[in-house]
Structure 1
């Protein structure tokens, strides 16, 4: 049974506090802060700050007793688990009236949404996804034809590698057997490492972000477009830029994977009621709407992805490999190992 929350008292307290500043890695936070202020009459400023910069700023602000960012919406869950929470720079607060709407795996620390990276193809050239199994990407047919964000620049990618090895190595091995018709020998090296070694050695086009992947895969007028992995948010480029991105929904073993965005409060904030009110707000359908429209998935089970979301992800959530924060510290501790593994095996 849900606990109660005196929202009116929280709003009154928030109005008496200094203006609220929220850090987030998406520019949508500017609109979200403005919507929040319009709804509650609580002054709020949204600032787009990358996850890496958030980490540094939160630590420095706390150490200097000069907190600017009162709320951090951060996609680097392992870093938060390893550096921010244990050192008391931030705290996690779960709105008691919404606790029964948030699955246990997202409650401590509180995740406000999950973001998806998915495999995509060009619908102008292919009637359906040309790749149905992860292991196809290790074969000559796809050599130098797969666009992929550089794992040396995004920790979420090395986290994904570690999550696969930790929680789903058997599924990677099963996909190998389904594709090649033989068992994979995992006695000396995990199925995940063997796939990643073969994929990295097949000369993928490594990019510095999702935009170049979206262009390489989805730009119209190509005879031989790339296959690729990118944020589901980039499917908006179909409308904005005329791209032809299609979701590889039937890919084995997954169409993509998710990572979590945490909603954390600075422990030294001078606007604690406003910070809690904003956390409560973004767990509602109204609050998270600008990001859900881009394919972000609210952790509130009552909030659905709208039918207008361009990737069509809503119909294929079960095809995504989910992030498990219970082993997030291990993801943090092995990042360098996975980066080294990628570097050693990557071939241009």
Structure 2
């Protein structure tokens, strides 16, 4: 029997993530498909409704019954933990957009495991294999194309100035951990770039003797009374609704650009803001440790790591961690052409991002001016 087929869910944990010990030539996809077809139906979750289509496509391709359900990341985390503790696993696979929490809460406690398809390991982005990142999502600075011929902002520091007071729409960092993770990633990996952007905008060096450039930018943005909402839809409407007379800048998922067709919005990508046009966060693919369909779960993970499997999310500008999978040319935001201008998520500091969330929330709360 193939070494990757028929393992117990306890032994499944031994083939977690890094594919260093698993060779592609030992992997037999046909054997995995056969084993998956003998298992109970699969339940898969993601924070996007596209998971329903992905599960339907998977079932049609492999003859393995799967049901996809949209569940917010925090609910997925709670569900996987409680089901594992109760020994009553109902959800088999979760694609969780809150990578730091998944790493901190699920993996160390043995509630879930990560598996990298051995035949795809070499084409997965280094650093996104342990645990496996299925997809990264772009959160981008956006303007109203009906009001402006081009993006009215060219430097992040501009949005800390009086001209944009009350006119930057985004989600509330107190309720959106992706934002506090972004702050921490900026400070960890991009503080020098942000300091350089400060010099370019203000014409002088920034004093970082007591506070990082990131802390100063976050404090100044918070003090400039940004318009905070509970979802990217709120930001998209504030920025892109047609017929406006006063422009907003907005930060939102590239997925919202489908509203240009669906709702006649006027969302335009700010493709030249320095030092970054936005940031990414990572969605990790995890298998419930107590799944009674471990082979079907692995087959689904394999499927979503292919161009065919991830296609419904790629249509929203979400990028596979498989380097051989590109975004479609007609993706509405156009983010694929300028992906290298994003602050891309680094998994190496995910644990630190998680640990500092409360610190960044407190920092934002102190400086936010309603």
Task: Specify if TM > 0.5.
Answer: yes
Distance across 2 between alignment mates of 1:3 and 1:28: 29
For 2:174 and 2:204, how far apart are their aligned partners in 1?
32
Aligned residue for 2:186, secondary structure, equals helix
* Displacement after TM superposition at 1:23 (Å): 1.1
Output one character per residue of 1:190-220: Cα deviation in whole Å (capped at 9) or x when no partner.
Answer: 1000000000000110110100100000011
Mapping of 1:250-265 within 5 angstroms? 250-265=272-287
The structure 1 residue matched to 2:129, chosen from 84, 94, 107, is 107
Distance in 2 between residues matched to 1:175 and 1:99, nearest whole Å: 37
Aligned residues: 348
How far 1:345 moved relative to its partner?
0.4
Aligned to 1:278: 300
Q: Specify which of 134, 140, 146 is matched with residue 168 of structure 2.
A: 146
Q: 2:82, 2:363 → 1: CA distance?
A: 32
Quote the residue 1:311 is aligned against.
333
How far does residue 154 in structure 1 lie from its aligned partner after superposition?
A: 1.0
Calculate the TM-score normalised by the size of structure 1. 0.99
Distance 1:274 1:3 in 2: 19
Structure 1 residue 8: deviation in Å? Answer: 1.0
> Within 2, Cα distance between the matches of 1:310 and 1:155?
26
Specify the SS of the correspondent of 1:321: coil
Take 1:341 and 1:280, find their aligned partners in 2: how far apart are those partners? 41
Alignment of structure 1 residues 226-265 onto 2, 5 Å: 226-265=248-287
- What is the distance in 1 between the residues matched to 2:332 and 2:45? 26
CA distance in 2, matches of 1:327, 1:302: 25
In the alignment, the residues of structure 1 paired with residue 87 and residue 244 of structure 2 have an alpha-carbon distance, to the nearest angstrom, of 54
What does residue 191 of structure 1 align with? 213
CA RMSD of superposed structures (Å): 0.9
**Mind listing any 5+ residue stretches in structure 1 that lack a counterpart?**
none
SS at match of 2:24: coil
Q: Distance in 2 between matches of 1:99 and 1:12?
A: 22
Distance in 1 separating the partners of 2:171 and 2:125: 30
User: SS of the residue aligned with 1:147?
Assistant: strand
Which residue of structure 2 aligns with residue 91 of structure 1? 113
Q: Equivalent of 1:69, from 91, 95, 118? A: 91
Question: TM-score of the superposition, structure 2-length normalised?
Answer: 0.93
The CA deviation string for residues 141-175 of structure 1, in whole angstroms up to 9 with x for no partner, is 00011101101111110000001111111111111
In structure 1, what is the Cα distance between the partners aligned to 2:226 and 2:90? 41
User: Which structure 1 residue ranges, 4+ long, deviate > 2 Å from structure 2?
Assistant: none
Q: Deviations over 1:218-246 (max 9, x none)?
A: 01110112111000000000000000000
Residues in 1 aligned to 2:220 and 2:178: alpha-carbon distance in whole angstroms: 20
CA distance in 2, matches of 1:56, 1:112: 20
- Specify the alignment match of 2:103 in structure 1: 81
Aligned counterparts, 1:192-211, within 5 A: 192-211=214-233
The answer for the alignment partner of 1:116 in structure 2 is 138
Q: Of 341, 344, 347, which residue of structure 2 is paired with 1:325?
A: 347
Secondary structure of the residue aligned to 1:276 is helix
Once the 2 structures are TM-superposed, how far is the Cα of residue 105 of structure 1 from its aligned partner?
A: 1.1
Match of 1:42 in 2: 64
Query: For residue 6 of structure 2, what is the aligned residue in structure 1?
Result: none
Deviation at 1:81, TM superposition (A): 1.2
Please give the secondary structure, in 1, of the residue aligned with 2:127.
Answer: helix
